[in-house]
Structure 1
Amino acid sequence: MTSKASEQSTRLLLWLVAIGFFMQTLDSTIVNTALPAMARSLGESPLRMQAVVVAYALAMATVIPATGWLADRFGTRRIFMLAIALFALGSAACAASRTLTELTLSRILQGCGGAMLLPVGRLTVLRAFPRERFLEAMSFVAIPGLVGPLIGPTLGGWLVEVASWHWIFLINLPVALVGVWATLRYMPDFRGSDLARFDLSGYVMLVVAMLSISIALDGIGALGLQHAVVVALLMLGLAALASYWLHALRTPAPLFSPSLFQLQSYRVGLLGNLFARIGSGAMPYLIPLLMQLAMGYSPAQAGMLMLPVAIASMGMKRVVTRIVQRLGYRRVLVVNTIALGLMIASFALMTPTQPLWLRVIQMAIFGAVNSMQFTAMNTVTLKDLNPAHASSGNSLMSMVQMLGMSLGVSVAAALLSTFSNWLGAGPTPGPQSLGVFRGALVTIGVLTMASAAIFWQLADDRRRPTAPADTADPGQAS
């Protein structure tokens, strides 16, 4: 009887972590389709709404590095419950927001909660399950993480049409209440046995670097910052990044050890993750806007059009292993990064008169290429890490993934603003705005193709490749 009760508790723990992951990935994508409706409600231009997406991703990027230490210090149960509570409070605040500033601040609160859901949940599963069952357990947890991006854009578009955009946040509240109850009942309270001192000064330097660079890029597109302010912020960000590197070299227990970068596969994979994700992170923001503002689609129709992307993305995971085993990571990533850039640029060829079947095929091909990119990038980054560096290496990669998404949206918004001024199209929805999107898409496609040069630095591993793991990617928001 005791064994049956223990088995039931561990199964319910998996469901709890899986639902938390689902909430986090759903809210990474559900907002994109609703941005034009939000803009109308708040009296803003649709092309100035990127702060709603950037704030969430950037909040996650800044909190992720501290989640492991917080869980070890205060216990997994307490931190997971705090994560759900912050996520719920942020969701309620988003629904109650009356201005873009209020909504952006609420998304920051929501992102702080979302940042802790997956890392703390994954840490709990790691400690609750024996090594031989961990892969099976994490595979179960990863499934809702793949379903979230699948239904997010469609659900967001549907809710906007049948109710209002506020409901894309309100639907989180009953799920969060159940989550808090389940956490108190089924979440084990694991703590770290040998807790090191948290590298607070290093953490502050990293946060300053991320915020300064992101605000500088976002300031070009939405905040209307003067060029001198943008340059000053960029310089502050680079100085903070250099300061962290010097600090990490002389600190016994830095947040992220410089020894991580002694592995060629890790440093190349991490840099590739950052720059290639700028293109991938921009597309979930750009495509719904393109469909609604330039092509005349309704929110529900724009959300439905994202389904082929997500379905092809999930289907591609079945063949990635065989492709990498045959060709090796270097060839796959160089060729696939160029293909990804070409697919992004190909969306500039869209016109309102094109048949629907052609758009569906284009979306599906983009989803397959994007999925190949994510899976190969993630695995080549982590495959050579030793156990001592696995935890910090994975946390740094997760931070870079979210930072890449944030930068992608900021770059896309800046390009839309720039081309809008150059072409004199303005923010008014209609076919006249198509040229603005075309300029942004081609530019982002070229930038993505340029990042293939990073993956060219990988060693040629065709003869002895490591099969990529089917790891859940919080950044894969299609």
Structure 2
Amino acid sequence: MQNLDSSVIATALPTMARELGTEPLHLSAAITSYLVALTVFIPVSGWVADRYGAKRVFMVAIAVFAFASMLCGLSRGLGELVAARVLQGVGGAMMVPVARLLLMRRIRPEEMVRATTWLSMPGLLGPILGPPVGGLLTDNVSWRAVFWINLPIAAIGLLMVWRFVPASDEARPPRLDLVGVTLIGASLACLMFGAETVGRGVVAEWLPVLGFAIGAALGWAAVRWARRAPHPALDLGLFSIPTFAVGVGAGSLFRVGAGAAPFLLPLFLQLGFGASATVSGMVTLATALGAFLMKPMTTMALRRFGFRNVLMWNAVVVAATLAACAAFDPSWPLAAVFVVLAAGGLARSLQFTASNAMSYVDVPGGKLSAATSIAGTAQQLSMALGVTWGASWLAASAALAGRAAPGVPDFAMAFLGAALPPLLAAPIAGRLARDAGAAASGHGAGGGAAR
């Protein structure tokens, strides 16, 4: 449901912008506001699950997400839409990380890769169905229907969780670190405000700079607090585990580039190629299809090459597939675009699964709640930054060329910009030992210490 929501809104953005009377680039706020809310509230998801029970929290999160989806569909302006998306993000923050926590507590290290693969494969139904469903609903019903489609899915999900997910009795967690949670949330919110508004002309020029400055200061204060608090919301000790540190660090850089693509592609196809929302959705379906096809092969790739080689060299492949999108031109047949996007989907899927599994292979059971919170926060922050990163390159290129609206050359620059973060992730992954995560991948033998 969450992945479906993310993919359908990208396809519907141009139509939403026309009906709401705003610019398509400004509507990136409807994506980033949701991602920022996820980022701000994910840090407390592990504590809330331990305090109130993971199953109960999971069900409430699904209900909140569905209610907020209904409000999104009823929105009459950008402000209302952004507010509803923030509420939706609160639900999502307690939904996906808690589901992952429920799974991680019940599997052995050697089952990690297979479990992560199976966990993500149903989620890929969202990106596969999202672009064509979003296009069809936008063209034939209304863009509002792309949010209302979540309601029956949520109802089915609630029934299945109630029926099949067992309740668990976890040890009562220590008192919530309110100071740490507040500092982290405020820091992330300020940083994302600055990233979303810089160079857009939507607020005074000094406000984004102030947002960056306050966000950085609060982030520094959060780290200082975490080092001396008895039970910090941000457990920095987890970064002493090399596989966790590399999985989160390299994975975050990769997701910045990967997060820009779903925002850029539908806009490019509709504004640059003149394609309808339906055609755009069918073409961008290629990325999700490639990702779905790769999932069964992920275990074999990791067993054959190991985490280090996969994360390092596949990051270069991901960067190359994003850079290849810069060559897209309206003269290209859509079938050729489809093939390039499918290849990118294959590479990104392998990187997603490998970095997710790597993050948890050496984390002790008692630290899983903290690990899922940190990893989930990093994932959502990097995806939010990806949308902002892509939109900023697009806007900057158009501004430098003196164009009022983005053109084909501006999208080319944006895709080249999106390729940079995954390329920078490769040397970070190269710090892993050759046998890192061997117990999970089955490649080689030994531990996962970094060199």
Structure-1-length-normalised TM-score? 0.85
Single out whichever of 172-181 and 247-256 deviates more from structure 2: 172-181
1:264 is matched with 242
In the alignment, is the contact (CA less than 8 A) between 1:46 and 1:427 conserved in 2?
no
Mapping for residues 55-454 of structure 1, pairs under 5 Å: 55-124=33-102, 142-177=120-155, 179=157, 190-222=168-200, 224-427=202-405, 433-454=407-428
Identity level (%): 34
Kindly indicate whether the alpha-carbon contact (under 8 Å) linking 2:68 and 2:88 is maintained by their aligned counterparts in 1.
yes
Q: How many residues align?
A: 443
TM-aligned CA deviation for residue 314 of structure 1: 1.7
Deviation digits for residues 142-191 of structure 1 (CA, Å, limit 9, x no counterpart): 44212111111111111001101000111222343455566667665545
Contact conserved, 1:267 with 1:381, CA < 8 A, in 2? yes
Distance 1:171 1:357, change over 3 A: closer
What secondary structure sits across from 1:305 in the alignment?
Answer: helix
| Counterpart Cα distance in 1 of 2:199 and 2:262 | 17
Amino acid at match of 1:365: A
Closer, same or farther in 2 for the Cα pair 1:42/1:463, shift >3 Å?
closer
Structure 1 residues 334 and 128: alpha-carbon distance in aligned structure 2, compared to 1, 3 A threshold: closer
CA distance in 1 between counterparts of 2:160 and 2:307 reads 41
**Cα pair 2:46 2:372 within 8 Å, conserved:** no
> How big is the shift at 1:137?
8.4
State the 1:319 CA deviation: 2.7
- C-alpha deviation, 1:402, in angstroms: 0.8
Q: Which moved more, 1:446-455 or 1:365-374?
A: 446-455
Tell me which amino acid in the other structure corresponds to 1:419. S
- What is the CA distance between 1:288 and its match in structure 2? 0.6
Amino acid at match of 1:422: L
Tell me the distance in 2 between the aligned counterparts of 1:209 and 1:31: 27
* Distance in 2 between residues matched to 1:351 and 1:121, nearest whole Å: 41
CA deviation digits over 1:315-342, x for unaligned, max 9?
2223333333333333332222122112
My pick for the range that moved more, 102-111 or 417-426, is: 417-426
Matched-pair contact (CA < 8 Å) for 1:48–1:221: no
Residue 21 of structure 2 is aligned to residue 51 of structure 1: no
1:65 and 1:456 map into 2 onto residues whose CA distance is: 28
Change (3 A) 1:302 1:209: same
RMSD: 2.8
Q: State the alpha-carbon separation in 2 of the partners of residues 133 and 419 from structure 1.
A: 46
The letter for the 2-side match of 1:389 is K
- Alpha-carbon distance in structure 1 between the residues aligned to 2:302 and 2:142: 44
Of 349-358 and 64-73, the range deviating more from structure 2: 64-73
Match of residue 467 from structure 1: 441
Q: What SS class does the counterpart of residue 45 from structure 1 fall into? A: coil
Segments of structure 2 that go 5 or more residues without pairing to the other structure are 444-451
Tell me how far apart the structure 2 counterparts of residues 26 and 361 of structure 1 sit (CA, whole Å).
22
Q: CA deviation at 1:414?
A: 1.4
Q: 1:363 to 1:385 in 2, by over 3 A?
A: same
Instruction: Structure 1: give runs of 5+ residues left out of the alignment.
Output: 1-22, 470-478
| Separation of aligned partners in 2, 1:329 and 1:193 | 33
Post-superposition Cα deviations, 1:97-132, rounded to whole Å, max 9, x if no partner, equal: 111111111111111112222333445567799999
Equivalent pair of 1:39/1:46 in contact (CA under 8 Å): yes
Whole-Å separation in 2 of the counterparts to 1:343 and 1:359: 11
Cα deviation, 1:371-428, whole Å, max 9, x if unaligned, reads 1221222222222222232331122111111111100001111121111111122227
